[in-house]
Structure 1
Amino acid sequence: MGKINVATDTYLVGMGVSPGIAIGKVNLIDQRPLVDQSLINGSEVDAEISRFQQAIDQAREQLQKIKKTVSKQPHLREHLYILDTHLLILEDEMLVEGTKKEIRALVNVEGALTRVLEKLRALFDSIDDEYLRERRSDVDAVGDRLLRILMGVSERNIDKIGSSSIVVAHDLSPAETIQMDRSHVLGFITGKGGRTSHTAILARSLDIPAVVGLESITAMVVDGMTAIVDGFSGVVILKPSEKTLQEYLIHKQSYDCLEQDLEQYRDLPSITKDQVHIPLRGNLEISSDVIQIKKHAAEGIGLYRTEFLYLGRSAPPDEEEQFQSYCEILKQAEGDPVTIRTLDIGGDKFVPELNLDDEANPAMGLRAIRFSLHEEQLFKIQLRAILRASSCGRVRILFPMISGVAEIRACKKMLGDIQAQLDKEGISYDPDLAIGIMIETPSAVMIAPLLAKEVDFFSVGTNDLIQYFLAVDRGNEHVAYLYDPLHPAILRALKMTCDAANEAGIEVCICGEMAGEPLYALVLVGLGFHELSMNPACVPRVKRVLRQVSKQDGATLVKQLLLLSTSKEVSTIIEAEMRRRLPAIFAQPPIQ
């Protein structure tokens, strides 16, 4: 692709994955090499397989070298697991033996590896869960590393980037991101990526503003071009005018002051002006992220997604491995509650030996609790591990995608049977372990009063709830604009759920992306939520808002919102109300 002429003040909108504003000069990282795919003779097969093995050995040496360097930096040690993941991918049977099989089919090693990588990418792309789908970026990173070695292309010197740089690349691997010199790299922009990729997680941990998903970005920039990265909104501005530059410098200064101001809220309780305590908890994907939960003073873990334990394996984790993993998280939580959600994905994506047929509509197929109840032995292993871990700390168990009373009763019966087994074996567990369900289907909302009689708490997963309620595929670019948390139907669904929980005297929590948006905090409290769980980095901002509003004010605002007919009307009222109450936090951005 040739270079695209860029005018002054060119605005691009991608996905903001790490908050903050960066203004600097573009440092364009070279593109991935073009792969030469060709056929070979039978006499060349052994030599090609040998080249492949040598590339694996060299890639392993490179990663071990990076790992050794990173291990000497205390603030990065918790991310060593990412490099370990890449080392494991180098041993993956599908990658290694699959490539060798393609070579034996008389394809050169570069072509063989490319074919296998495409198959692996297709496998990950079929996963509905965003976090797990983004793990394909790790496969891409390892594949690119191997291809560079095979084609004699040197490693990208990400650690040698000059000062005041905005790094731009088609993609950045986690190994490259972890090597960034924070004193030199002000922000980065990539053509690929998502909110839950390892690269995005690292960016947040390193406090580097980042925007991803701008597919043509590398064709639009040149080295030395001035760029602005707004990691909040996902906006990137190329060749900003002097006026735009000055406005964003002021905006950045305001943000930096706000960040400093947030520090004073870190250890303060999350209490509204009318003295209502709203615990702010952290969502957790991987055990190493507990450090972020503690860093931002979240009150425990409101959602631990256990899917990562099952990812990229030829067989699921056994009971002991899960038990040890859960106990380690509970130990790090230091007495704060940990809500463990059972497996929330179709098992065919993780357990190949199950050989489940491909589904035309996996989002509504055999997934989450449906899959667990279908594969009872797999489910029982996880339940035993969670129950055993409950003796190590404060555990709550959460069942996903419940659509009816029969499902929760089946789960409770299985849990009761396992408790009886543990009693018989003399194995300790918490007999008062709280049981909750995810409210993320329309049917669950409509029968919330019935479900509330069966459990100790609700946890609303707004990401899926909005998708199912509005019949919108978030990943479909043609209809994604219809995915709207402020749709009147969604507000009514949330109100019905909270009312049912409050009338039954059980807790109702929210763990979707809505929970981490400060603009929605007053509304969520007014709806009747008792607890919010979010990306840990969002906790200080939401806490600051909650401490300056009252639950009664929220209830009054909700009454007004429920009378409105469109999302636009709802958002206009909320934005105006929050700017009126908290102008320092919700000031208008300098440029739209």
Structure 2
Amino acid sequence: MSETGYVPRPRSSPRVLLKRLREIMAEPAEPQARLEKLVRAIAANMVADVCSIYVRRTSGALELFATQGLKPEAVHATRMAPGEGLVGWVADRRQPLSVTNAPAHPSFSYRAETGEDPLQAFLGVPVVRSGQVLGVLVVQNRTQRRYTDDEIEAAQIVATVLAEIVPTGDLLDEADTKEAQALLEAPESGRGAAVSAGIAIGTVALLEPDSRTHKVFAESVAAEKTRLEDAVAGLQKSVDEMIATDAKVAGVSREVLEVYRLFAYDRGWVRRIEEKVLSGLTAETAVEQVQAENRERMRAAPDPYLRERLHDLEDLSRRLIRALQGLEGPPELPEGAILMAETLGPAELLELSTDRLAGLVLADGGGTSHAAIVARSLGLPFVSGLPGMVESARPGDTVIVDGDTGEVHLRPPSDALRSYADKKAMRERRLEAYAALRDEPAVTKDGALIDLQMNAGLLLDMPHLKETGASGIGLFRTELPFLIGRTLPTAAEQEHLYREVLRAAGTKPVVFRTADIGSDKRATYMTQPVEANPAMGWRGLRVSLDREGLFRTQLRAMIAAAGGRELRVLLPLVTTVEEVEAARGVIEKELSRRKRGRKPVPSSVIVGVMIEIPSAAWSARSIAAASDFVSIGGNDLAQFFFAADRESALVSSRYDPLCPAFIGFVGRTISEAKAAGRPVGYCGEQASDPLMALVLMGLGLRSLSVTASSVAPLKAMIRSVDLGALSGWLNETLAAPSGELRREVEAYAEAAGVALPSWA
């Protein structure tokens, strides 16, 4: 023992240990005898005085199933209650615990029947499969010593292998195996972020290839290594071909494709997989283990650019596993599929058989993500922020997604299924009632006409214009083609899209927002400096003015598509009057170019500005005077007003835009813009909140642009409102704010007989 009391130990060898475990699993033996051989092998490899395996029962208790070093009579007699002791600590937190002096730990629980009195050092690792803790692997030593990172990693690898084989029946007897399987099949419920409204009842489909279709241990390490090498070579070839077909793309696009290729050729990534294969695992299991390690890094990464790059590794891992399994392309979906995944890009979503897709549940993805925009366009209920639920899901499981409340029920009991089937039917009846209002005007009881428009971003959104009875497209997000594809869209491709959008709109107006690129809105082919605060950095109109070639190409396409009809252009994230003037100058250049070519030009070009940052809101009068109309972008304006990243689960829910401070600020902005004699509207997800829409109308707004699914419910509400009475009440309420504005607005609406949307 050293002066510090710690004793250095020989380094454990995961490769040797896995080889021994594979041999034990291959030997004919009764489950209990096999377990005892396993703990002896693990203890010997890790030079531990004790190795124990605890198995979790359906009650939540952790039962000692096998041990080397503790009293044999404690096996199946010692049970730790949920959360009890260091073993319970590991199971509850689903993370390893390494301590040098176990009895001194506040969670330590003494069990005399185990004979653990002389033990000091403790290392516990959870045995987790499909998000469920199936047990805990424990090693202990008499001396006070630190377990090295290599030893902890070796224990985690063993725990991963145990997780794969516990439910198979090779390690436990029939009754215990059924109990372990019951844990994996137990109902789960959770509440995430409600991203896209609606209710879906269907079966789970995963982007991840099903891990149950492959073995854990390799029959031949050499053959498995060859399989991996062939699959990696195939993956690299497919990336090379992608770059070759994009050879005509501008240099900036090729640079990012080269970054993607670097990941595919990254020796560090491939070597980590190879090491696990050489230890005796199948190639698929090795990729899954490395993928899980990368996923933990991704979830912990504070930098959005790094998170995006780790998403690339996630995609490459999925592709590699499919290649190993001989699969090509995206997975085939069953009818009524609920797709559950870690992350999902809009391109991946559109590549799937969306006619079979009923809903989405993601571990990571906010309400303003591009997958969310596409999901709303498709009318798919969508809930995000449930990583544990995604991890627990298995293909074919029944799942309920409530996009109104954010609730998700995995493997629900029959009474929950009946309840949600009734709720879904009631919702559909309410939608039928709203549909009857499609051709009715959005006019208040006292005769005020509200211009109720819808947001769009894809051509597949356009049928909703007729279905909902919206008066026009108040916001068409043009950046989606830039972000969904793997290359920069050409002028011809853009012109075709804009012409088709205008054709689909008929006589109704369309407001095209120029590409709002930057911050979280980056395609794989785009490069830009890594910024500490990208949401406040190089994005929006700033990018367009700095990359005038990209801006002019887009404007050229819009002008050509409009032909002889009116063209409405909206500039995103305006910060100064000078930016508006510069953008209008570029528009004039493109109009002059078109005229010189003797080609038809729009009958008029109306240029609007988006007020999305507090400084622009504070200067709303002068900025409005330099434009033709104003659109308040509530999502970003609230984000900057509250200094709360709307994509961060830690802070986005800490504020309510329907509070006196923010509403007062919005009211001032509306007044200043109107003082310049310009029409003012409000776009963004906030306006889809019926209580927020009521307040905006009370502040004097007469134009709202909302999601397609919100148009009909809001029209019904508008037709039940006495706007004069609402405005008078709101002025009095804001003059003496109580801080409970949402509750007060809801109480007013109920007392005044306002038809608030409800799916209950």
Whole-Å Cα distance in 2 between the matches of residues 40 and 564 of structure 1?
76
Given that 2:625 and 2:677 are in contact with CA atoms closer than 8 Å, whether structure 1 keeps it comes out as: no
Partner of 1:70: none
Match of 2:266 among 92, 95, 102: 102
**Letter of the structure 2 residue corresponding to residue 428 of structure 1:** P
Match of 1:274 among 436, 442, 446: 446
Moved more, 277-286 or 142-151: 142-151
Matches within 5 A, 1:198-213: 204=376, 207=379, 209-213=381-385
Establish whether residue 517 from structure 1 lines up as the match of residue 692 from structure 2: no
Partner of 1:387: 559
Matches within 5 A, 1:113-128: none
Moved more, 262-271 or 151-160: 151-160
Whole-Å Cα distance in 1 between the matches of residues 496 and 414 of structure 2?
56
Partner of 2:235: 52
**Letter of the structure 2 residue corresponding to residue 52 of structure 1:** L
Question: 1:386 Cα deviation (Å)?
Answer: 2.5
Matches within 5 A, 1:517-556: 517-556=689-728
Residues 112 and 317 of structure 1: CA distance in aligned 2, closer, same or farther (over 3 Å): farther
Whole-Å Cα distance in 2 between the matches of residues 305 and 283 of structure 1?
8
Match of 1:578 among 732, 737, 749: 749
Matches within 5 A, 1:462-541: 462-541=634-713
Whole-Å Cα distance in 2 between the matches of residues 563 and 378 of structure 1?
47
Question: 1:179 Cα deviation (Å)?
Answer: 5.8
Partner of 1:12: 190
Matches within 5 A, 1:136-535: 144-152=318-326, 159-160=333-334, 174=349, 178=353, 181=356, 189-195=361-367, 204=376, 207=379, 209-218=381-390, 228-237=400-409, 251-311=423-483, 316-346=488-518, 356-391=528-563, 393-430=565-602, 432-535=604-707
Question: 1:486 Cα deviation (Å)?
Answer: 0.9
Given that 1:281 and 1:299 are in contact with CA atoms closer than 8 Å, whether structure 2 keeps it comes out as: yes
Question: 1:429 Cα deviation (Å)?
Answer: 1.8
Question: 1:393 Cα deviation (Å)?
Answer: 3.6
Deviation per CA, 1:21-47, whole angstroms, max 9, x where unpaired?
3567x6575954679999999999984
**Letter of the structure 2 residue corresponding to residue 580 of structure 1:** A
Whole-Å Cα distance in 2 between the matches of residues 488 and 325 of structure 1?
41
Higher relative contact order (Cα pairs below 8 Å, separated by 6+ residues): 1
Whole-Å Cα distance in 2 between the matches of residues 243 and 40 of structure 1?
50
Partner of 1:77: none
What TM-score, normalized to structure 1?
0.75
Any stretches of 5+ residues in structure 2 without a counterpart?
Answer: 1-127, 134-182, 243-252, 275-282
Whole-Å Cα distance in 1 between the matches of residues 260 and 233 of structure 2?
12
Deviation per CA, 1:154-203, whole angstroms, max 9, x where unpaired?
99986546x8x877666786378636657xx6x56444444466765665
Residues 32 and 200 of structure 1: CA distance in aligned 2, closer, same or farther (over 3 Å): farther
Q: Does the residue aligned with 2:446 lie in a helix, a strand or coil?
A: coil
Question: 1:434 Cα deviation (Å)?
Answer: 1.0
Question: 1:338 Cα deviation (Å)?
Answer: 1.3
Deviation per CA, 1:540-559, whole angstroms, max 9, x where unpaired?
11111111113323312431
Deviation per CA, 1:83-136, whole angstroms, max 9, x where unpaired?
xxxxxx9xx954884466337997579889989x979x99x99779xxxx9999
Whole-Å Cα distance in 2 between the matches of residues 202 and 223 of structure 1?
23
Whole-Å Cα distance in 2 between the matches of residues 44 and 226 of structure 1?
34
Question: 1:561 Cα deviation (Å)?
Answer: 3.8
Moved more, 254-263 or 457-466: 254-263
Q: Does the residue aligned with 2:670 lie in a helix, a strand or coil?
A: helix
Whole-Å Cα distance in 2 between the matches of residues 255 and 419 of structure 1?
48
Whole-Å Cα distance in 1 between the matches of residues 417 and 451 of structure 2?
39
Partner of 1:83: none
Partner of 1:85: none
Residues 285 and 438 of structure 1: CA distance in aligned 2, closer, same or farther (over 3 Å): same
Residues 347 and 420 of structure 1: CA distance in aligned 2, closer, same or farther (over 3 Å): farther
Whole-Å Cα distance in 1 between the matches of residues 187 and 742 of structure 2?
27
Deviation per CA, 1:56-103, whole angstroms, max 9, x where unpaired?
99x9xxxxxxxxxxxxxxxxxxxxxxxxxxxxx9xx954884466337
Whole-Å Cα distance in 1 between the matches of residues 205 and 455 of structure 2?
34
Whole-Å Cα distance in 1 between the matches of residues 419 and 523 of structure 2?
52
Given that 1:521 and 1:545 are in contact with CA atoms closer than 8 Å, whether structure 2 keeps it comes out as: no
Question: 1:413 Cα deviation (Å)?
Answer: 2.5
Residues 250 and 314 of structure 1: CA distance in aligned 2, closer, same or farther (over 3 Å): closer
Q: Does the residue aligned with 2:735 lie in a helix, a strand or coil?
A: coil
Residues 374 and 454 of structure 1: CA distance in aligned 2, closer, same or farther (over 3 Å): same
What TM-score, normalized to structure 2?
0.60
Given that 1:127 and 1:349 are in contact with CA atoms closer than 8 Å, whether structure 2 keeps it comes out as: no
Partner of 1:79: none
Moved more, 346-355 or 569-578: 346-355
Aligned identity (percent) is: 31
Q: Does the residue aligned with 1:562 lie in a helix, a strand or coil?
A: helix
RMSD across aligned C-alpha pairs, in angstroms?
Answer: 4.8
Given that 2:196 and 2:403 are in contact with CA atoms closer than 8 Å, whether structure 1 keeps it comes out as: yes
Residues 167 and 363 of structure 1: CA distance in aligned 2, closer, same or farther (over 3 Å): closer
Whole-Å Cα distance in 2 between the matches of residues 135 and 300 of structure 1?
38
**Letter of the structure 2 residue corresponding to residue 578 of structure 1:** A
Whole-Å Cα distance in 1 between the matches of residues 508 and 715 of structure 2?
18
Question: 1:248 Cα deviation (Å)?
Answer: 5.4
Residues 313 and 200 of structure 1: CA distance in aligned 2, closer, same or farther (over 3 Å): closer
Residues 9 and 565 of structure 1: CA distance in aligned 2, closer, same or farther (over 3 Å): farther
Q: Does the residue aligned with 1:216 lie in a helix, a strand or coil?
A: helix
Partner of 2:11: none
Whole-Å Cα distance in 2 between the matches of residues 199 and 414 of structure 1?
32
Q: Does the residue aligned with 1:541 lie in a helix, a strand or coil?
A: helix
Whole-Å Cα distance in 1 between the matches of residues 222 and 510 of structure 2?
54
Given that 1:437 and 1:457 are in contact with CA atoms closer than 8 Å, whether structure 2 keeps it comes out as: yes
Residues 350 and 125 of structure 1: CA distance in aligned 2, closer, same or farther (over 3 Å): farther
Given that 2:717 and 2:755 are in contact with CA atoms closer than 8 Å, whether structure 1 keeps it comes out as: no
Whole-Å Cα distance in 2 between the matches of residues 298 and 309 of structure 1?
24
Whole-Å Cα distance in 1 between the matches of residues 222 and 262 of structure 2?
17
Question: 1:330 Cα deviation (Å)?
Answer: 1.2
Whole-Å Cα distance in 1 between the matches of residues 223 and 186 of structure 2?
50
Moved more, 165-174 or 466-475: 165-174
Residues 232 and 142 of structure 1: CA distance in aligned 2, closer, same or farther (over 3 Å): farther
Question: 1:523 Cα deviation (Å)?
Answer: 1.5
**Letter of the structure 1 residue corresponding to residue 553 of structure 2:** I
Whole-Å Cα distance in 2 between the matches of residues 294 and 276 of structure 1?
22
Question: 1:337 Cα deviation (Å)?
Answer: 1.2
Whole-Å Cα distance in 2 between the matches of residues 464 and 579 of structure 1?
30
Deviation per CA, 1:488-513, whole angstroms, max 9, x where unpaired?
22211221122123333321111111
**Letter of the structure 2 residue corresponding to residue 21 of structure 1:** I
Any stretches of 5+ residues in structure 1 without a counterpart?
Answer: 60-88
Given that 2:452 and 2:705 are in contact with CA atoms closer than 8 Å, whether structure 1 keeps it comes out as: yes
Partner of 1:80: none
Partner of 2:95: none
